[in-house]
Chains A and B, each alone.
Chain A
């Protein structure tokens, strides 16, 4: 769901223009409501601190740990987990291996071939999913909690004993190949590869996670088995569980699901990489719109300036309707339908990335407006009111969004562990945001936004990109 941040002065929220007659009462009611909301807002940390939202650490006999939030109101259990590594672990020449392996985990496991596994899963009434991203292989299961535990057995098989039979391997390989071919003439897909190489150079992040035609063609069941063996282990595994299960039962399930995995992963070390900035590329394609992408330095969760940067990004372009970029590019000038900035977090690299698309004949103007908006924020910084409003938003949104559904909650539990944020993070987070000062936000704006970004434009030839 789209989240909005505030653009102007907080005070204006109370100064709603009054009109005559009964309107006045209505306006006052709203003003009062806003005031009350402000009070409620102060209690959001109390909401977050509610016992129901406090994860408990659960450790199994074999040492598998998970964070659990119990919720017995509905008979559903949601489990999410990640094995560190991901597509960065694809051997050179075997790009796509991690993603193919993830897609094949539920295509036959243990003594069940693909068809038998799928039928049993259908009968169990559970959903199991796997996927590989840059820094990890993600898994999840959503199941009904009552009585039938067949879903746990199927997940255990998929995690521990995938078969990688030739038939599903070839079928999934064909699908990967089709996917590669399907997009090989799409200018934005091609440009995306250009972008990855531009900013990551030879780092594994620049390699295509979905593979190439030749790499996919060369992946064997042996490769898949070896990759599974090296990546699926008890250490390097983060688990979040939400729903209708207690700690005692979960302890048993953790050993059932993950207890027989090897203790340690065998990973190829991946270096940290700073995105390569200060370069501009125009990828020429005859398109009705020109898409623009700008990368600035980012920031890691662990850095002290993370929260100031979070606030700064929110003010710059973190959400539509009210951010500086939204206002300048869309609201005032109608240059684009969508413009935003985002703090991208990867385990080995971070960046602040601005994206938009605009009609070809106004691409130069759009790029100028974006640059101008960014450099103004870098030079002048935001106002106190903007920072305070962003604090309200970023504190409130966590309870409403991240902690909203059991799925988002389980994902948040996994992320908190992966980022080493601590089991009390939900309780600590409001204060971490609250204590940021205007000067800190100004400083981080200057630091991140003052340099020359990497810029990629995809579209018709345009002026303004000179290097």
Chain B
């Protein structure tokens, strides 16, 4: 989630659907509709579309939600403890903007284990009488049995279909009665369910979530109807969108062995065959307290949360021990691969080039942080090299950027992308982008470049992670992909200590132009 949250990539449905998507926003919409990251938890700044271009334009690890939120929720609140930590780190870099930061209340983040093995993280933030309650299961599409693609996401939907204790709809009604919100999402490495409610409703939420962790009831009829729903979801998010169709096959080409080669939502012909037995097997294997992380962020006291958690989740029996999540890993890549989609609905071409790189979970110390800053310098925003060089100076790109997706259990990807301006050629743009990559690998970055990138990176953390639900997501995704609470809290410091040499080293080591995978989206008639 680290990079994901930083990168603002919320494909948020336009709040005013009847107002045509216009201006610089629409050029990227085609590429973004596909991915539904934990939508409600992604920061959405007010910056104009061109500022978000880089972020909005990338391929995200797909995280599918059960229901699309009606509109974006711009986050603004800072959670005390994160804030202090982040800022303690940031202040050293952000010399010009460092305010005197008064510690406000500052309940410390608490983390503990229930007796049945469920991990609990409590992030106190008392500024508003609101709490976000999330249960993260350490299972996602990359944990699915072969031939059952889509079952993780399908099962996430089925979690809303009622239990032996509560009819379908009761949970939703209880949330609605307090004006709360709820949703769920599935990604490669985790599946999460969450509610945002007044603190007085927290125990009730815990009761409902604990109940559906073990007491779900599923009829064939319900399963079949819901399967139709996710088939429509696939048609909507992938099949209707040329960019998404391309991205799915680029992923399957980039990943020759890792499970990320299969889309989170699944292959159409396999989704069509998913049934109640598959769902039950998945449920019984993964939906247990010892495979779950509870994150509670907001106006709560850790001791009180502990007591409530013991009263609810603590009553559930420990499930069978799960084997370590050791999954197939990627072999060395020795080729340059290309994937091309030509489609009549496309009128502006674009490219994206991806490399397999270590994630925070698989990297040697400092490498993932260096990759994050490399992405920031190369293509993080409008001050980045790709934007400045290709969009502003050479004028050959409408947009260009880079992204590193750090919060994955297995090795992850680094991506650069761009679309040529009307009078430029795609090949020239790609060559120019490659040249920027090569330059950084050869000449490295200056101390100034790096300090500015750190400023921007930490500022994004500071501004964009300042909502309970975002913060809760950072803990949830990190803990679901092999990290710890300390990893989340230590990120600002670790970013601060990255050296120019480390950035150059990861660029030279991982971004080899002849060992890469490139996707091309082309108009039916080449311009």
Contact = CB atoms under 8 A, between A and B. Distances in A.
B200 A37 contact: yes
Nearest to B184: A2
Contact of A359 (B235, B312, B456): B235
Nearest to B78: A74
Given A37-B177, A342-B17, A182 B27 contact: yes
A407 to B, nearest CB: 4
Contacts, number: 385
Contacts of A437: none
Given A34-B174, A189-B21, A210 B26 contact: yes
A93 interface: no
B186 interface: no
A175 to B, nearest CB: 5
Interface in B92-121: 94, 96-102, 104-105
Given A37-B204, A183-B27, A288-B239, A359 B232 contact: yes
A336 B229 contact: yes
Contact of A122 (B26, B311, B315, B456): B456
B440 interface: no
A16 interface: yes
A359 B231 contact: yes
A195 interface: yes
Given A103-B48, A289-B240, A404-B73, A125 B97 contact: yes
A353 interface: yes
A96 B203 contact: no
A146 B98 contact: yes
Given A133-B16, A175-B24, A321-B67, A2 B40 contact: yes
A165 interface: no
Interface in B228-280: 228-233, 235-236, 239-240
B179 A44 contact: yes
Given A30-B204, A74-B83, A210-B20, A175 B50 contact: yes
Interface in A426-457: none
Given A146-B100, A181-B348, A129 B45 contact: yes
B482 interface: no
A336 B176 CA distance: 22
Contact of B346 (A171, A185, A335, A407): A185
Contacts of B311: 29
Interface in A312-357: 319-322, 330-338, 340, 342, 344, 351, 353, 355, 357
Nearest to A146: B99
Interface stretch (A60-68, A223-231, A369-377, A391-399): A391-399
B46 interface: yes
Interface stretch (B323-331, B357-365, B390-398): B390-398
A395 B422 contact: no
B197 A1 contact: no
B382 interface: yes
A36 interface: yes
B99 A208 contact: no
B459 A289 contact: no
A338 B98 CA distance: 45
Contacts of B40: 1-2
A400 interface: yes
Given A13-B170, A321-B172, A398-B179, A125 B398 contact: no
Contacts of A338: 67-68, 236
A23 B69 contact: no
A259 B232 CA distance: 53
B383 A334 contact: no
A4 interface: yes
Nearest to A17: B165
A40 B48 contact: no
Interface string B448-464: 00001001100100010
A284 interface: no
B447 interface: no
B23 A185 contact: no
Interface centre among A74, A100, A102, A338 (most CB of B within 10 A): A74
B27 to A, nearest CB: 4
Given A2-B69, A183-B347, A406 B50 contact: no
Given A16-B165, A96-B23, A140-B46, A118 B455 contact: no
A134 to B, nearest CB: 6
Contacts of A41: 177-178
Nearest to A390: B176
Interface stretch (B127-135, B334-342, B483-491, B499-507): B127-135
B22 A96 contact: yes
A183 B243 CA distance: 12
A389 B177 CA distance: 6
B56 interface: no
A2 B169 contact: no
A289 B232 contact: yes
A400 B73 contact: no
Contacts of B16: 133-134, 344
Interface string A379-403: 0000000000100111111111101
Interface string A287-321: 11100000100000000000000000000000111
Given A76-B78, A359-B235, A322 B181 contact: no
A270 interface: no
Interface residues of B, number: 118
A13 B169 CA distance: 10
Interface in B153-190: 160, 164-167, 169-170, 172-183
Given A12-B170, A210-B26, A405 B456 contact: no
A295 B18 CA distance: 10
Interface string A394-425: 11111111011111100100000000000000
A181 B422 CA distance: 8
A122 B455 contact: yes
Nearest to A334: B228
Contacts of A332: 225
Nearest to B452: A122
A83 interface: no
A201 interface: no
Contacts of B196: 1, 400
B36 to A, nearest CB: 10
A19 B164 contact: yes
B165 A182 contact: no
B173 A16 contact: no
Contact of B177 (A6, A29, A404): A6
A432 to B, nearest CB: 15
Contacts of A182: 26-27, 30, 347-348, 398, 419
A337 B230 contact: yes
A334 B69 contact: no
A147 interface: yes
A10 interface: yes
Given A1-B196, A6-B173, A171-B395, A179 B422 contact: no
Contact of B17 (A123, A353, A358): A353
Contacts of A406: 76-77
Contact of B204 (A34, A99, A146): A34
Contacts of B225: 331-334
B99 A75 contact: yes
B51 interface: yes
B182 to A, nearest CB: 6
Contacts of B442: none
B47 A393 contact: no
What are the nearest 10 A-B pairs in CB distance? A396-B179, A146-B99, A210-B22, A334-B228, A125-B97, A407-B74, A182-B348, A397-B179, A337-B233, A129-B46
13 contacts: A2-B70, A40-B198, A73-B104, A128-B47, A145-B99, A175-B398, A183-B27, A210-B21, A392-B177, A392-B179, A393-B176, A401-B181, A407-B46
Given A2-B40, A344-B18, 20 more contacts: A1-B40, A2-B67, A30-B204, A40-B200, A74-B104, A96-B22, A115-B392, A123-B96, A142-B46, A175-B399, A189-B26, A196-B20, A287-B240, A295-B18, A319-B176, A321-B169, A334-B224, A334-B227, A405-B76, A406-B76
